[in-house]
Amino acid sequence: MQKESGFLRQELGRGYGLVFQQAWPAWLSGIFLAILAVMLFMWWHAWGVAGGFANWGDWFYHLLGIYDSSPEKSIFLHGMSVSNIGLLVGAFASALLSRQFGVHRAPKFEYLKGLAGGALMGVGAALAAGCNVGGFYSALGMLDLGGFMMMLGLFAGAYLGLLYLLWEMENIGQGATGGQHVDKNKGTDWSKAFPYIGGFVFLLILTSFQAYSWLGHTKMGGVLFLGFLIGLVMHRGRFCFANAFREPFMTGDSTMMRGVIISLILYALGAAAMKWAYIQPPTAGIYHPFWIGSLGGGLIFGFGMLLAGGCGSGSLWRAGEGHLKLWLALAGFFLTNSPVSKFIDQSGLSEYLGQGIFIPNILTWQGGLILFILVLFGLFLLLRWNEETENFVAF
Amino acid sequence: MNLEDIQADEVLNARGLSCPMPLLKMKKTLKGMKKEQILEVLGTDPGSKNDIPNYCEKHNYNFLGYYDDQENFTRYYIQIQ
């Protein structure tokens, strides 16, 4: 018996080390992310982040008395809000379990950049009808042509954002915080308890899933749980769309974008199987404004994510890891996303931004899927070539 | 080589900065340094523990290693080849 318990302890230790001590490669996180995104699509609908921020913003302005009517759904019953909460908590648990959690403070100017970057992302996501997740990742997963336009906008915005950061380095001096002084000889070293607190958070999420079920909202419970797993996967792989769009211009590296490409192909194939078999309607998730909204929104969003140091999903998981700058980015995001989305809807501007175009409607299922994969393969080759030549690197 | 004994030629303080600023500043600083010189980077962003060694490996810099300082930040050492 002692031998068996020793074996079990050894195997559990090995598993823990594998999952929470070593960083996951981008391609592995990309594969897991695609599986979770497909599961979320099967369980509920296409994964999105910005819609959840809009809901938080709606509530914020309503509670301040600026919006008369109260939002239709509470933050605990609005699907994207619930998956955002799950993502944030999942990253928090993952950061605790891997002992990477900490309250990371930043110089004052960085906080300003976080807020401004978040505000720009909120505007960009309103124009593109989604952030890097809804407007790009899920849009392409659903085979909506607007996703490709947002991709171009995100590359252009990330390039301009990088040029700004280079200018800032030359022209605006800023002091580092000097880190946080922690005297480990005094008081309790909480970091030893982090993995246990992380385990407790995991149990809390399972309990919440069950509680949703008891209250007759099993679907939302599942969304919370899948969001939690997405947060965990993104944190362990440090899966970052801002990195994917920025690095080809900053260092030439395309490791993260290659992870995104693998993930997109799997996501699109999984979602296509469900749509083709009518498990979900073929036009589900097809509403991204091709081409002005997606391109312009991507451009503004891309610039904003470079300032903030995280995109829609990246800001969430980094906030869960304890970065105060990214908490401000989240605040900036919902403060602008809610009113700008309302303005676009009510002013009739949405008519000029474009409309969703389902790729298989133009090219048939077979042709659409082949072209989709070929475009992404072309991007892969272009990025590999750039890695060798650094032709696109800004400095 | 014992990392704690290294006398760096230049020190880059990136404490409190998050991705991408530590790597961006490091890249710029390394470009201005000479062969054999050593750069010490002080950072607090957990992502730097992957980013800095990866960058050095791909760009032919000699990454000497890192260690966590008592005061809750990490010291990284990079040598120009």
pLDDT of res. A187: 57
Pull the structure tokens for residue B14.
């990136």
CA dihedral of residues B17, B73, B32, B25 (deg, nearest 10): -10
Partner residue facing B18 (CB), from A180, A255, A325: A325
Contact flag B70-A165 (C-beta cutoff 8 Å) = no
pLDDT digits (tens, 9 = 90+) for B17-42: 888 999 999 999 999 999 999 999 99
Q: Domain-by-domain residue ranges, chain B?
A: 3-79
The region of weakest confidence among A103-107, A209-213, A334-338, A379-383 is A103-107
Q: What are the residues whose beta carbons fall under 8 Å from the beta carbon of A171, sequence distance 6 or more? A: none
CA distance A174 to A42: 47
What's the pLDDT band for A181 if we cut at 50, 70, 90? very low
pLDDT of res. B79: 94
Q: What are the residues whose beta carbons fall under 8 Å from the beta carbon of B3, sequence distance 6 or more? A: B64, B65, B66, B67, B75, B77
Q: What are the residues whose beta carbons fall under 8 Å from the beta carbon of A116, sequence distance 6 or more? A: A304, A307, A308, A332
| pLDDT at position A183 over 50 | no
pLDDT digits (tens, 9 = 90+) for A43-85: 999 999 999 999 999 999 999 999 989 999 999 999 999 999 9
Tell me whether residue B19 is one of the annotated catalytic residues: yes
Q: What are the residues whose beta carbons fall under 8 Å from the beta carbon of A384, sequence distance 6 or more? A: A254
| pLDDT at position A179 over 60 | no
Say if A158 is an interface residue toward chain B (CB within 8 Å): no
Contact flag A179-B14 (C-beta cutoff 8 Å) = no
3-state secondary structure of A288: coil
DSSP string, A37-91: HHHHHHHSS---SHHHHHHHHHHHHHHTTSSSSPPSS-TTTSHHHHHHHHHHHHH
pLDDT of res. A198: 94
Average pLDDT in the A343-362 region? Answer: 93
Contact flag A106-B17 (C-beta cutoff 8 Å) = yes
CA distance B56 to A208: 44
CA distance A160 to A156: 6
Q: What are the residues whose beta carbons fall under 8 Å from the beta carbon of A266, sequence distance 6 or more? A: A30, A31, A34, A35, A38
Partner residue facing B73 (CB), from A179, A253, A323: A179
| pLDDT at position B9 over 70 | yes
Average pLDDT in the A290-294 region? Answer: 94
Residue with tokens 């910005």: A50
pLDDT of res. B3: 84
pLDDT digits (tens, 9 = 90+) for A186-222: 556 777 899 999 999 999 999 999 999 999 999 999 9
From B3, B11, B19, B21, the catalytic residue: B19
Contact flag A251-B27 (C-beta cutoff 8 Å) = yes
Q: Tell me whether strands B74-79 and B62-68 are parallel, antiparallel or unpaired.
A: antiparallel
Q: What is the ipTM of this complex?
A: 0.91
Is the N-terminal amide bond of A291 cis, ω within 30° of 0? yes
Closest Cα in chain A to B49: A23
Contacts A–B by Cβ distance under 8 A:
89
Give the DSSP H/E element, type plus range, for residue B78. Answer: strand B74-79
Say if A104 is an interface residue toward chain B (CB within 8 Å): yes
Q: What is the DSSP letter of B67?
A: E
Residue with tokens 């080849």: B81
The region of weakest confidence among A117-121, A173-177, A332-336, A355-359 is A173-177
What's the pLDDT band for A184 if we cut at 50, 70, 90? very low
Q: Which CATH number fits domain B3-79: 3.40.50.9100, 3.40.190.10, 3.30.110.40, 3.40.50.1110?
A: 3.30.110.40
Backbone angles phi and psi of A386, in degrees to 5: -65, -35
pLDDT of res. A167: 93
CA distance A343 to A388: 45
Q: Which residues of A touch B44 (CB under 8 A)?
A: 102, 104, 177, 179-180
Partner residue facing B46 (CB), from A306, A309, A321: A321
Closest Cα in chain A to B46: A100
Average pLDDT in the A170-178 region? Answer: 69
Closest Cα in chain A to B24: A250
Contact flag B72-A395 (C-beta cutoff 8 Å) = no
CA distance A21 to A17: 5
Question: Higher model confidence: residue A190 or residue B65?
Answer: B65
Arithmetic mean of pLDDT over chain A: 93
Say if A253 is an interface residue toward chain B (CB within 8 Å): yes
Cα dihedral sign, A12-A16-A19-A21 = negative
Question: CA of A215, closest CA in chain B: separation in Å?
Answer: 39
Say if A125 is an interface residue toward chain B (CB within 8 Å): no
Say if B60 is an interface residue toward chain A (CB within 8 Å): no
Residue ranges of A 220-239 with Cβ closer than 8 A to chain B: 238
Chain B interface disruption, residue of A94, A104, A327, A395, most B CBs within 10 A: A104
Contact flag A326-B16 (C-beta cutoff 8 Å) = no
Residue ranges of A 310-339 with Cβ closer than 8 A to chain B: 310, 318, 321, 323, 325-326
Give the DSSP H/E element, type plus range, for residue B64. Answer: strand B62-68
Q: Which residues of A touch B49 (CB under 8 A)?
A: 23
- The two counts, helices (H) then strands (E), for chain A are 16, 0
Query: Taking the model in full, what pTM does it have?
Result: 0.93
pLDDT digits (tens, 9 = 90+) for A132-167: 999 999 999 999 999 999 999 999 999 999 999 999
pLDDT of res. A172: 85
A114, A108 contact by CB (below 8 A): no
